[in-house]
Amino acid sequence: MPSIDHESRIKKLEKTIRTLTKKLERSEADRQQLEIASEDRKLVLKGIIKDLENSEIALKERRKELENALSNLKTLQLKMIEAEKMSALGVMVAGIAHEINNPISFIHGNLEHAYTYFQDLLRLIELYQQNYPQPVAVIKKEIERIELDYIKEDSQKLLKSMNIGVERVRDIVLSLRTFSRLDEAEFKSIDIHQGIDSTLVILNHRLKPHPENSYGIDVIKNYGKIPFVECYPGPLNQVFMNIIANAIDAVEEGLNTPTLPDKDKYRTPTIRINTEINDDLVVIRIADSGTGISEAALLKLFDPFYTTKKIGKGTGLGLSISYQIIVDMHGGKLECSSSDLGGAEFTIVIPLVQSLGTSN
Amino acid sequence: MLKTVVAHSEDPDSLDAVQEVIEQCKNQLNGTEPQAGILFAAIDFDFSLILEEINQVFPNLELIGCTTDGEMSSVLGFQQDSLALMLFCSDTIQIRAGVGHQVKENPIDAAKVAVEQATQKSSEQAKLCLCLPASYIGEGLTTSGESILKGLKLALNPEIPIVGGTAGDRYKFTKTYQFFGSQVLTNSLPILIFSGDILFSHGISCGWQPFGRKAVVTKSVGTVLYEVEGKSAVSFYQDYLGDRPPRAENPLAVFDGDSDSYYMRVPNTHDSEVGSINFLGDIPEKTVVQITDISRNEVIAASKISFENALKNYPGEKPTAALLFSCCCRRWLLGTRSKEEYELVEKTLDREIAVLGFYTYGEFAPLEPNGSTYFHQETFVTLLLGTE
C-alpha cells in the first residue's frame, strides 16, 4: 500500500531529523567545550614554558654556584699548599734558629773571656817590655814581624766588632724565632711592635743599600703607646711580612723604572710604619713611597691569585691570605689607600681584645 | 554455550530508540530467551520508559545498566546520545544481577547487599563480577570508586576479578543514573555475577604522558590533596593552567616509591580558599606526583594495546563478546577521533563478535591476569567473555 510506504518513509525521515538535530546540538556543545579546552591548553603550554624558563634560571644559578665552588676549592687547595709551605718553612726557620742559637750563645759568652785573656796577655807583654827593655834579637825581630803595636791597637776593635757581629746574629735568631712563633697557634697577648721589628730584622738585607738599590730604604717608625694585643702572633707576623715585603717591592720598582715621569719622587725610598690606639682598636699603617696601586688593581687587590708582579715573582696569595688573617681570624679590617709618600698605604685594624672584634 | 546479541540505536526519541533496540535483539535472538543484559544509555533519555519497554518484552531478564558519556557497539561503533543493549543467553553460564543502595554513604554495606543478592540466585561459585556503580549523585557529591572496590573485594572471594566502570552523565559531572531490572536508581551499585563454565580475560592501557616537574606530596588526606612541596595543590596546577581550575584533562601521575611506573588520579572538585583539590581516588602523602598531558595517538594506541592484551590472555579460542570501558576524558580529548578507539578494536578482531562499551567516570580491572583489581582513571579496559 502506497500510504503505508509514505508513512514509513515519513517515520524514517522524522527519525533522521531527530538524530541529526541531536547530533547538531551535541556538536555545538562540543565546539564550545573545545574552545574552552583550547584556551586551557594554551595556558598549559605557557605553564610549561614558564617551568622551562625557571629551570633554566635555576640551572644557570647552579652553574654559577658550582663554578664558585670550584674556584673556591682551587683557591683553598693553593692556600693549603701555601699554608703547608709556610708551616714547613716556619718549622725549618725555628729549627735553624734554635741550632744557631746554641753555638752563638757560647761564642757570645766566651767572647768576653777571650777579650779579658787577650788584654791580660797584652798587659803581660807590656810588663815584659818594661822590665826587659832590650830583648834578644830573635824576640825583637818577631815583634817587628807581627807588628805588635798594631795588634795592640787593632785587637780591641776586632773583638768589639766580633761582639757586634755576634749580637747581630743573636738578634736575627731571636727575630726568626719571634716571627715563626710555632708554639703560638692560639690567641696570645703580645707586643705587636716586637712582631713588626722582628719582621724588619728579617727583611733588613733588602732595606740596606745593595747593588740594585744604592740608596737603601729609610724605615720611619712612629710607634704609639700600645698595650699588649690579643692576637694570633704567628699569622699576624705573616701579615706584616707580606705588606712590608710588598712595600719594598713597590719602592724598588719605582727606583728601577726609568720611564716613570716623576722619578725624583722615588729618590728618597721610604717605608713608614705608624701604630696607634683608636678606642679599643689597634691601627697599624704601613705606607711606602713606591709606585702606588692603580684604581683597577685596588678593586681586586685582596682577590686570590691577583698579582701585578712579574710571572714567578708573586703568587697573588699574600694579600688574600693577609685579608683572611685580619678579617676572618681577628675580626678586623684590612684596607688599602694612596699614601702621602706617593705609594700605597695599608691600614690594619684589629681589636685590642678579641671579644671586641669589629665584625661582631 | 554463550550467545550474545547486541543492539544499538541513535534515535534520540526514547520510545523509538528502545523499540528499535528491542527489535534488533529479537531479530538476532531467534526466539531464544535471554538470561541477562547490560544497558548503556545517554543521559537525555526517559529511562523509566525504556526499562519498562524492555521489561515487557523480556520480563525475567537480569538487567543492569547505567548512563554514560558515550556508547559504543559492534552495531553502530562509537556513538553519543544513543541507547545500546547487550543480551546474554546460555545454559551453562549463570549471570545474576544484584544491587546495593546508598553507595556513597555506605559503600561496604551496599557492595555486600549487591553481592549477596546476586550470588543467592546462582547455584554455582562466582567467577567474575561486573559492576556499574554511581559516580556523581547530585549536589556536587560523588561516590568513592576505591571504597566501592574495597566493599566488593570484601563481599566476594578475593580472587574474583572485578571489571566495570562508573556511570557517566555526558561530561556534565552532576548526576548519574543506574539501572537494575526496571528500576532507575542513583547512588547505587548494580552488579552482574558470572558463574558456571564462563571463560574471560581482561586488558588495560592508558596512554597519558607525565610532563613538567616531579614534586612530592607534602599534605593529603584520602582523596583530598592539600599541598605539593609546601605549596597549595591549586597553585601547583596553576603553574601550568594559570587561573583556570584543575581539570580532568590533566590528571596527576602518582609515582609510588622510586618506581617509574605510575597510576593516574583525576582532579574532581577544588576549594580555592583552602587551595585543596579533591581527586577521584586517594593520593597518599610522600608520593611523587607529576602533571600529565596526552598525545592523541598514544591514547588511541592504548585502546588497541588493552584489547590485544585481553585477547592474548583469553583462555579459550573464540570469545563471544567484548565489553569495553573507556574513560570519559579519553573521549573528550580524542574528540572526533574517539571513533578510532572502537575502530582499532574492531580491526584487531579477525571475526565478528558482539561488542558493547561505554565511556565511564572511572574503570575497574586487575592490572594483570589473576592480579588484584584496581580502580583506574583515564584507562581503557577490555573484558572478553565466552565459553569456547
Alpha carbons B220 and B227: distance in angstroms, whole number = 7
**What is the pLDDT confidence band of residue A142, given thresholds at 50, 70 and 90?**
very high
Given a contact cutoff of 8 angstroms between Cβ atoms, the answer to whether B111 and B120 are in contact is no
Among A22, A27, A32, pick the best mutation site for testing chain B contact (most B Cβ within 10 A): A22
Q: For A16-42, what is each residue's pLDDT tens digit?
A: 999 999 989 988 988 888 888 788 878
Environment class of B27 (CB within 10 Å of its CB; exposed 0-12, middle 13-18, buried 19+): exposed
B293 to chain A, any CB pair closer than 8 A? The answer is: yes
Rounded to a whole number, what is the distance in Å from the CA of B12 to chain A's nearest CA? 6
**Cell numbers describing residue A24:** 547538531
A19 to chain B, any CB pair closer than 8 A? The answer is: yes
Instruction: Please list every residue in chain B whose beta carbon sits closer than 8 Å to the beta carbon of residue A46.
Output: 242
Provide mean pLDDT across the span B202-216. 88
Pair B257, B284 in one domain: yes
Of A257-271, B225-239, B334-348, highest mean pLDDT: B225-239
Given a contact cutoff of 8 angstroms between Cβ atoms, the answer to whether A325 and A308 are in contact is no
pLDDT for res A304:
65
Flag if B239 and A51 touch (Cβ within 8 Å). Answer: yes
A268 to chain B, any CB pair closer than 8 A? The answer is: no
* Angle between the N-to-C axes of helices A148-180 and A233-255, in degrees from 0 to 180, rounded to the nearest 10: 120
Pair B112, B196 in one domain: yes
Pair B100, B198 in one domain: yes
Q: For A90-129, what is each residue's pLDDT tens digit?
A: 778 778 888 888 888 888 888 889 989 989 999 999 999 9
Pair B123, B268 in one domain: no
Given a contact cutoff of 8 angstroms between Cβ atoms, the answer to whether B72 and B355 are in contact is yes
Instruction: Please list every residue in chain A whose beta carbon sits closer than 8 Å to the beta carbon of residue B332.
Output: 33, 37
pLDDT for res A181:
59
Least confident stretch, A151-160, A228-237, B226-235, B237-246: B237-246
Three-state secondary structure of B118-171: HHHCCCCCEEEEEECCCCEECCCCECCHHHHHHHHHHHCCCCCCEEEECCCCCC
Query: What range defines the domain where residue B163 resides?
Result: 3-205+298-386
Provide the strand spans (E) within chain A: 188-190, 218-222, 229-231, 270-278, 281-288, 333-338, 344-351
Alpha carbons B230 and B251: distance in angstroms, whole number = 20
Of A192-196, B34-38, B259-263, highest mean pLDDT: B34-38
Of B293, B310, B326, the domain-final residue: B293
Share of chain B above pLDDT 70, in %: 98
Per the structure, the count of domains in chain B is 2
Rounded to a whole number, what is the distance in Å from the CA of A280 to chain B's nearest CA? 48
The answer, yes or no, to whether residue B310 has pLDDT greater than 90, is: yes
Integer CA distances (angstroms), B273 to B173, B198, B233, in order? 22, 52, 11
The answer, yes or no, to whether residue A83 has pLDDT greater than 80, is: no
Instruction: Please list every residue in chain B whose beta carbon sits closer than 8 Å to the beta carbon of residue A15.
Output: 11, 13, 16
Q: For A253-311, what is each residue's pLDDT tens digit?
A: 877 766 555 545 545 789 999 999 998 899 999 999 888 888 888 877 887 667 776 65
- Nearest by Cα to B280 from B244, B252, B316: B252
The answer, yes or no, to whether residue B142 has pLDDT greater than 80, is: yes
Say which residues have a Cβ less than 8 Å from residue A203's Cβ, sequence separation at least 6.
A241, A244, A245, A248
Flag if B240 and A33 touch (Cβ within 8 Å). Answer: no
Provide mean pLDDT across the span B327-346. 87
Strand B276-279, strand B224-228: pairing: antiparallel
Instruction: Please list every residue in chain B whose beta carbon sits closer than 8 Å to the beta carbon of residue A21.
Output: 12
Nearest to A40 among B12, B81, B244 (CB): B244
Instruction: Please list every residue in chain B whose beta carbon sits closer than 8 Å to the beta carbon of residue A37.
Output: 249, 332
Least confident stretch, A62-66, A152-156, B323-327: A152-156
Rounded to a whole number, what is the distance in Å from the CA of A68 to chain B's nearest CA? 27
pLDDT for res A357:
46
Instruction: Please list every residue in chain B whose beta carbon sits closer than 8 Å to the beta carbon of residue A40.
Output: 241, 244, 247, 249
DSSP track, A192-242? HHHHHHHHHHHTHHHHS-BTTBTT--EEEEE------EEE-HHHHHHHHHH
A141 to chain B, any CB pair closer than 8 A? The answer is: no
Share of chain A above pLDDT 90, in %: 27
Among B8, B10, B252, B359, pick the best mutation site for testing chain A contact (most A Cβ within 10 A): B10
pLDDT for res A358:
44
Counted across chains A and B, CB pairs separated by less than 8 A come out at 52
Nearest to B212 among A19, A33, A48 (CB): A48
Of B293, B328, B346, the domain-final residue: B293
Q: What's the pTM value of the predicted model, to 2 decimals?
A: 0.60
Provide mean pLDDT across the span A322-327. 86
DSSP percent split of chain A into helix, strand, coil, nearest 5: 65, 10, 20
Least confident stretch, A7-11, A321-325, B300-304: A321-325
Instruction: Please list every residue in chain A whose beta carbon sits closer than 8 Å to the beta carbon of residue B293.
Output: 44
Q: For B23-77, what is each residue's pLDDT tens digit?
A: 999 999 999 999 999 999 999 999 999 999 999 999 999 999 999 999 999 999 9
∠ CA B237-B249-B82 to the nearest 5 degrees? 155
Pair B19, B168 in one domain: yes
Pair B331, B343 in one domain: yes
Q: How many residues does chain A have?
A: 360
**What is the pLDDT confidence band of residue B266, given thresholds at 50, 70 and 90?**
confident
User: What is the distance in angstroms between the CA of the first residue and the CA of the last residue of chain A?
Assistant: 112
Alpha carbons B241 and B233: distance in angstroms, whole number = 12
Pair B324, B358 in one domain: yes
Return the residue of B nearest to A13 by Cα: B11
Rounded to a whole number, what is the distance in Å from the CA of A11 to chain B's nearest CA? 10
pLDDT for res B153:
95
- Nearest by Cα to B381 from B309, B320, B331, B317: B309
pLDDT for res B261:
64
**Cell numbers describing residue B64:** 543492569
Pair B190, B112 in one domain: yes
Pair B360, B263 in one domain: no
Flag if B213 and A55 touch (Cβ within 8 Å). Answer: yes
Pair B161, B72 in one domain: yes
The mean of the pLDDT values for chain B is 91
**What is the pLDDT confidence band of residue A360, given thresholds at 50, 70 and 90?**
very low
pLDDT for res A335:
92
Share of chain B above pLDDT 90, in %: 69
pLDDT for res A179:
67
pLDDT for res B307:
93
A40 to chain B, any CB pair closer than 8 A? The answer is: yes
Higher pLDDT, B142 or B163: B163
The answer, yes or no, to whether residue B85 has pLDDT greater than 90, is: yes
Residue type, B277: I
Provide mean pLDDT across the span B332-359. 88
Of B293, B324, B347, the domain-final residue: B293
Provide mean pLDDT across the span B5-25. 96
CB within 8 Å of chain B, chain A residues 20-39: 21-23, 26, 30, 33-34, 37, 39
Flag if B80 and A26 touch (Cβ within 8 Å). Answer: yes
Flag if A48 and B171 touch (Cβ within 8 Å). Answer: no
Rounded to a whole number, what is the distance in Å from the CA of B113 to chain A's nearest CA? 38
Higher pLDDT, A323 or B17: B17
Bridge partners of residue B3, in order along the sequence: B89
Return the residue of B nearest to A33 by Cα: B332
Q: What CATH number did the domain enclosing B231 receive?
A: 2.40.10
Rounded to a whole number, what is the distance in Å from the CA of B195 to chain A's nearest CA? 39
Of A89-98, A115-124, B111-120, B374-383, highest mean pLDDT: B111-120
pLDDT for res B256:
64
DSSP percent split of chain B into helix, strand, coil, nearest 5: 25, 40, 35
Assign A325 to helix, strand or coil.
helix
Computed over its alpha carbons, how large is the radius of gyration of chain A? 43
DSSP track, B23-51? HHHHHHHTTPPP-EEEEEE-TTS-HHHHH
Pair B48, B61 in one domain: yes
Pair B178, B92 in one domain: yes
Residue type, B6: V
The mean of the pLDDT values for chain A is 84
CB within 8 Å of chain A, chain B residues 16-45: 16
Flag if B249 and A37 touch (Cβ within 8 Å). Answer: yes
pLDDT for res A296:
81
The answer, yes or no, to whether residue A59 has pLDDT greater than 80, is: yes
pLDDT for res A159:
86
